[in-house]
Amino acid sequence: MSASEDLIASTRELLWERGYVGTSPRAIQQRAGVGQGSMYHHFSGKPDLALAAIGRTAEEMRAAAEARLSGPGTAVERITAYLRRERDVLKGCPIGRLTQDPDVIADPALRRPVEETFAWLRDRLAGVLAEGRDRGELAAGLDPVATACAVVAVLQGGYVLARAAGSAEPFGQAVDGVLGLLAAHARPGA
């Protein structure tokens, strides 16, 4: 693989593990097995590298979500598939964690992909829920946008609870919790 790709891969891992503030150019180079001069030849500095890494991660996250949400089944079944997909729960969400990085939030260029990813995800889930409601699978009174926000929030908050507890259990319980609440909105015979 090219040095450039190795650097992006290394940056993606470190941003996930230690965040933007906790990741140094030096650590990125060492993990990538690439020298200092090479890094500054391909990228103008830490923000530039982070931008490339975040963009790549956001793209993959979106594709992974789309695969579950565009699959077969009812709205609730597709959302269940998305929520219960295999995850490395204790590592958390590689995009959501950037939200706690003051230097990412302060830099519009770095924050944009984070903002766009969650905006897309909320819209996509709201679309699935609206579809389910219009098909009669879900109660007519269900608010697709608010419910979609709650579903995404449960995921992101589930990671927080799991990391606090040092265990994936609260994540699973939180997911069970929303799905249980959502089931009460399902129309019989849908």
Partner DNA sequence: GTCTATAAAGAGATAGAC
Partner DNA sequence: GTCTATCTCTTTATAGAC
Q: Is 152 in the site for a copy of itself (CB under 8 A)?
A: yes
SS3 190: coil
Q: Is 42 in the site for a copy of itself (CB under 8 A)?
A: no
Q: Is 18 in the site for a copy of itself (CB under 8 A)?
A: yes
Question: Contact 69/28 with Cβ under 8 angstroms?
Answer: no
Of 73, 92, 91, 94, residue with least CA distance to 82:
73
Question: Contact 121/95 with Cβ under 8 angstroms?
Answer: no
Residue 167 structure tokens: 């265990």
- What is the contact mask toward a copy of itself in residues 56 to 95, using x (rule: CB under 8 A)? ------------------------------------x---
Residues between 9 and 68 with contacts to DNA, criterion CB under 7 A: 23-27, 34-38, 40-42, 44-47
DSSP secondary structure string for all residues of 68-85 = HHTSSS-HHHHHHHHHTS
Residue 22 structure tokens: 């906790």
First to last CA, the chain: 50
Residues between 155 and 184 with contacts to a copy of itself, criterion CB under 8 A: 155-161, 163-166, 170, 173-178, 180-182, 184
Task: Specify the stretch interacting with a copy of itself by CB under 8 A; choose among 34-42, 45-53, 56-64, 137-145.
Answer: 137-145
Q: At its nearest, how many Å lie between a copy of itself and the CB of residue 145?
A: 6
- What is the contact mask toward a copy of itself in residues 107 to 136, using x (rule: CB under 8 A)? ----x--xx-xxx--x--------------
- Distance of alpha carbon 161 from alpha carbon 168, whole angstroms: 8
Q: At its nearest, how many Å lie between DNA and the CB of residue 30?
A: 9
Of 50, 25, 52, 27, residue with least CA distance to 39:
25
CB nearer DNA, residue 21 or residue 181:
21
List interacting residues with DNA (CB under 7 A): 2-4, 23-27, 34-38, 40-42, 44-47
